[in-house]
A and B are shown apart, each in its own frame.
Chain A
């Protein structure tokens, strides 16, 4: 159920035999594989936060519309919406489409990948 997921937090669930990290961020839900594509670190034990960007050296800007997950093992960061690693968008973690049913259940489809909002 949606109320089982706290805003700004990650929760680990097993779905169809897969370990999935589920994130509630604002009004959105995200689901990614719990296994970091780098060396298999548990992403659910990593850090969740807004995307960190910069227009110039010494300045840091946060984008709360782009939730980012960083692995607790080696710090690799992933965009939750696309699964792409922030240092190279060719490298990514598996994402899953997730939605909330009318009765409040959180539904996950492990057969497909999440589509970015712009593509939906």
Chain B
């Protein structure tokens, strides 16, 4: 697929793009029911319709024939892939990604399994540009690991994704390690999506759950910080040296400050974590990838880019549109705000080196 001539901004890079964060929605709750054991149907139908933050969606992404934004592959093509020249899009199962927010671990696991099977059947044909994320409910990590080993057999499932944290411990905690072990075994990176404010799971923000949408949107970054820091402190990358962590929708501008503080703190706290063998910022460069939407780099803020360069952004940033979510500006605005020399990596190369693409195998 050749890149579209109408694509704005990225004049210095005109090759195809990999989009690391696109959301695929079922057209209706009925579309999920064939994949869900019948004993859970009533629970799902009760929940459906109030799990999704519909007001965050682009209104034009909803098909005229009916269904929510993100439910029509043809609109994803015409509104996203073709205009921007995207030849690979990594899908997460839309608002279903929050289904594991249920307090019921068995229902949550069944929903994750259903979401994975639906995504495979509905979106991941051999000739499509779509690739999938394996959703897991982490209430029972061994069950989640089994789901990774099951759904991960599909060659177009290229990563694991989680948003809700059911265990009330930091993402790097040893309780989660069976999930990371299974992901590493299959060569799958683990994506943590900022959010996970639903259901009864602990809030990903400090100081309690946000009261307002504005608070939620602004503070969601704390979940990404939690994952980055605790994957390193709790030795996830030492246990599973091949594992990559992808941070979705958590922003990027905070990285330099956090990593500086993290390195500085580590130098005096090494005795607490003697399994951490290098500076945290070095683990970040080797193991963590972070997506561009929202980029938090307004025009005129070149100094943020200079700071991001210091922490290895050229090797760690990956383009993501977050389609069909609405956000400030256009997804490809990032291309005009980072150095042209970064574009081949940020728009494509880093993603190619991170996900388990079919041609790479397990």
Give the interface of A toward B (CB within 8 A): 38, 52-60, 70-71, 74-77, 85-88
Contacts and interface: CB of A to CB of B under 8 A. Distances in A.
B274 A56 contact: no
B89 to A, nearest CB: 35
B238 A74 contact: no
A77 B271 contact: yes
Contact of B267 (A52, A55, A58, A87): A87
A75 B235 contact: no
Contact of A85 (B238, B239, B267): B267
Contacts of B239: 56-57
A87 B235 contact: no
A55 B239 CA distance: 10
Contact of B235 (A58, A77, A86, A88): A58
Main secondary structure of the interface of A (DSSP, over half): loop
Interface in B265-310: 266-271, 273-275, 279
A60 B235 contact: no
B275 A75 contact: no
Contacts of B238: 56-57
A64 B188 CA distance: 41
Interface string B233-260: 0111011000000000000000000000
Given A52-B271, A54-B274, A60-B274, 13 more contacts: A38-B267, A54-B275, A56-B238, A57-B236, A58-B235, A74-B267, A75-B269, A76-B267, A76-B268, A87-B266, A87-B267, A87-B279, A88-B267
B247 to A, nearest CB: 21
> B235, B238, B268: which has the most chain A beta carbons within 10 Å?
B268
B352 interface: no
Nearest to B239: A57
Contact of A86 (B174, B234, B236, B270): B270
A70 B271 contact: yes
B238 to A, nearest CB: 6
A58 B272 CA distance: 10
10 contacts: A38-B267, A52-B274, A54-B273, A57-B234, A57-B236, A58-B275, A74-B268, A75-B267, A76-B267, A88-B267
B174 A57 contact: yes
Interface in B171-230: 174
B201 to A, nearest CB: 24
A117 B239 CA distance: 33
Nearest to B269: A75
B268 A53 contact: no
Contact of A56 (B268, B270, B275): B275
A63 to B, nearest CB: 10
Nearest to B174: A58
Contacts of A58: 174, 235, 275
B246 to A, nearest CB: 21
A57 B267 contact: no
A88 B266 CA distance: 11
Contact of A77 (B234, B270, B275): B270
Contacts of B271: 52, 70, 75, 77
A87 B270 contact: yes
A56 B240 CA distance: 11
A56 B276 CA distance: 9
A115 to B, nearest CB: 25
A55 B271 CA distance: 13
